[in-house]
Amino acid sequence: MDAFDFQPRTRIIFGANQLDHLGDYVSQLKAKRILLVTDPGILKAGHIGRATNALANPSLEWEIFDGVEENPSTATVQQALEVANEFRPDLLIGIGGGSSMDCAKGLNFIYTNGGKMQDYWGKDKATKPMLPMIAIPTTAGTGSETQSFALISDEETHVKMACGDKKAACVMALLDPALTLTQPSTVTSVTGIDAISHALETYVTKPRNAVSLMYSRQAWKYLHASFPKILAEPLHLEARGTMLLGASWAGMAIENSMLGAAHACANPLTARFNIIHGQAIALTLPGVIRFNGEDPKINGWYEELLEVSEIPFDEKNEIAAEVLANWVTEQAHSAKLFTKLRDCSIPLDVLDQLSEDAAKQWTGTFNPRPVKKDDFQTIYESIY
Ligand SMILES: [Fe+2]
């Protein structure tokens, strides 16, 4: 069995309407000055109003930064820093989708350790202690709440930088499935497929170990069963809850075993063509599963996932990777997402450039099958 070093860092609180108890949780952390980091959609949805109502206590002061955009950039983190420098928080709350949580995490690096975001690209580059942070996801997607990486786009190059540090891990993740009921259906689609990809990729990556496998497997069980339910019935609170747990468990898996080639292929599509992360993943994941499945050992791991799922699978006559890849494509269709590059107005002659970009992605190094520029080209061609 492979060695591992597992240290849970995040208290996880789960339950519908837990947001109303935020004030109690903040007091338990002995915080007095709270900076909420979010996006305008979350503010409009009323979640920030509920959060600040829960913080109504004379001993607490709060401030809001609501300038987070999709794929937060170094410029956005800088704007958040200006608010933080003025307000001097002792606790950060990232509330929203992965973008809000990542922006809060990114802010935490430069607010406490100085410098610029690029200085923290990679792992464990912060030397000084960081502020405690609470993550409150309003989507079941990135799992940012349970892992210590912030994905921040370089404002100039549009390259997504993964900045990770154990100190950046949230002290608390407040998982309130009621907050995920009101999200637009497109958000449910792109975040759900992303969470599914995290469960599937982490199950096969090179650093997989006993801990990550436990989280990946359970995340997969929750996500594959709940995703069709929430597409059909968006107000299904029970299914929203298992989606949210699945996304968080997948985040725990990422923390312990990283991601793979589907993310390496997806990131250049976002950087060059501004394709939303989950949509990019819906395009790339089936191709990468098929590529990985050519290795019988990896195909066997996919078979294990099918065995614990409700997906029909005839192990004597079917190839696990093929069944799994087809299932992902079916889900993407149900979620009204594109499944071919050509449908996203991507010209055929950029595949060479995209392959070159993908081959430079750090996340590709964790893929179970070595994947070079030519392999990325083959994968992109297979999903064109
Ligand atoms: Fe992802």
The tens digit of pLDDT for each residue in 66-110 reads: 999 998 999 999 999 999 999 999 999 999 999 999 999 999 999
- Cα 277 to ligand 1 centroid, rounded to whole Å: 7
Kindly indicate the confidence band of residue 9, based on its pLDDT and cuts at 50, 70 and 90: very high
- Cα 25 to ligand 1 centroid, rounded to whole Å: 29
275 lies in the same domain as 376: yes
Q: What percent of the chain has pLDDT over 70?
A: 100
pLDDT number for residue 160: 86
**The total number of structural domains that make up the chain:** 2
pLDDT number for residue 39: 97
Q: What percent of the chain has pLDDT over 90?
A: 97
- Cα 61 to ligand 1 centroid, rounded to whole Å: 34
- Cα 197 to ligand 1 centroid, rounded to whole Å: 7
Last residue of one domain, picked from the residues 162, 180, 198: 180
Distance of alpha carbon 27 from alpha carbon 32, whole angstroms = 8
Residue 82 domain-assigned (yes or no)? yes
pLDDT number for residue 281: 98
pLDDT number for residue 100: 98
Closest CA to 142 of 37, 246, 33, 292: 246
- Cα 190 to ligand 1 centroid, rounded to whole Å: 10
- Cα 47 to ligand 1 centroid, rounded to whole Å: 24
- Cα 356 to ligand 1 centroid, rounded to whole Å: 20
pLDDT number for residue 2: 84
Q: Which residues contact 355 (CB under 8 A, 6 or more apart)?
A: 373, 374, 376, 377, 380
33 lies in the same domain as 90: yes
Residue 335's domain is classified under what CATH number?
1.20.1090.10
Mean pLDDT, the chain, as a whole number? 97
Residue 1 domain-assigned (yes or no)? no
- Cα 112 to ligand 1 centroid, rounded to whole Å: 27
134 lies in the same domain as 250: no
* Tens-digit pLDDT profile for residues 104-126: 999 999 999 999 999 999 999 99
Question: Is the predicted pLDDT of residue 381 greater than 90, yes or no?
Answer: yes
165 lies in the same domain as 276: no
- Cα 147 to ligand 1 centroid, rounded to whole Å: 12
- Cα 317 to ligand 1 centroid, rounded to whole Å: 32
218 lies in the same domain as 312: yes
* Tens-digit pLDDT profile for residues 269-312: 999 999 999 999 999 999 999 999 999 999 999 999 999 999 99
- Cα 28 to ligand 1 centroid, rounded to whole Å: 32
What would the mean pLDDT of 31-35 be, rounded to a whole number?
A: 97
The owner of tokens 């009621």 is 178
Q: Which residue range is the domain that position 72 belongs to?
A: 11-180
The owner of tokens 């997806």 is 266
- Cα 326 to ligand 1 centroid, rounded to whole Å: 19
Pairing outcome for strands 91-96 and 133-137? parallel
Q: What are phi and psi of 324, to 5 degrees?
A: -65, -45
- Cα 266 to ligand 1 centroid, rounded to whole Å: 9
* Tens-digit pLDDT profile for residues 154-209: 999 888 899 999 999 999 999 999 999 989 999 999 999 999 999 999 999 999 99
Residue 119's domain is classified under what CATH number?
3.40.50.1970
15 lies in the same domain as 127: yes
58 lies in the same domain as 27: yes
**Cα–Cα separations (whole angstroms), residue 235 to 15, 158, 231, 255, 379:** 15, 36, 9, 30, 36
310 lies in the same domain as 375: yes
- Cα 86 to ligand 1 centroid, rounded to whole Å: 33
pLDDT number for residue 1: 82
pLDDT number for residue 299: 98
Angle at 337 between CA 105 and CA 70, to 5 degrees: 25
- Cα 194 to ligand 1 centroid, rounded to whole Å: 5
- Cα 100 to ligand 1 centroid, rounded to whole Å: 15
Instruction: Give ion ligand 1 contacts, CB < 5 A.
Output: 194
189 lies in the same domain as 146: no
Residue 75 domain-assigned (yes or no)? yes
- Cα 299 to ligand 1 centroid, rounded to whole Å: 22
The owner of tokens 């907050």 is 179
Closest CA to 280 of 345, 339, 321, 329: 339
Closest CA to 249 of 217, 204, 208: 217
156 lies in the same domain as 227: no
- Cα 199 to ligand 1 centroid, rounded to whole Å: 10
What would the mean pLDDT of 16-26 be, rounded to a whole number?
A: 97
Residue 50 domain-assigned (yes or no)? yes
Residue 323 domain-assigned (yes or no)? yes
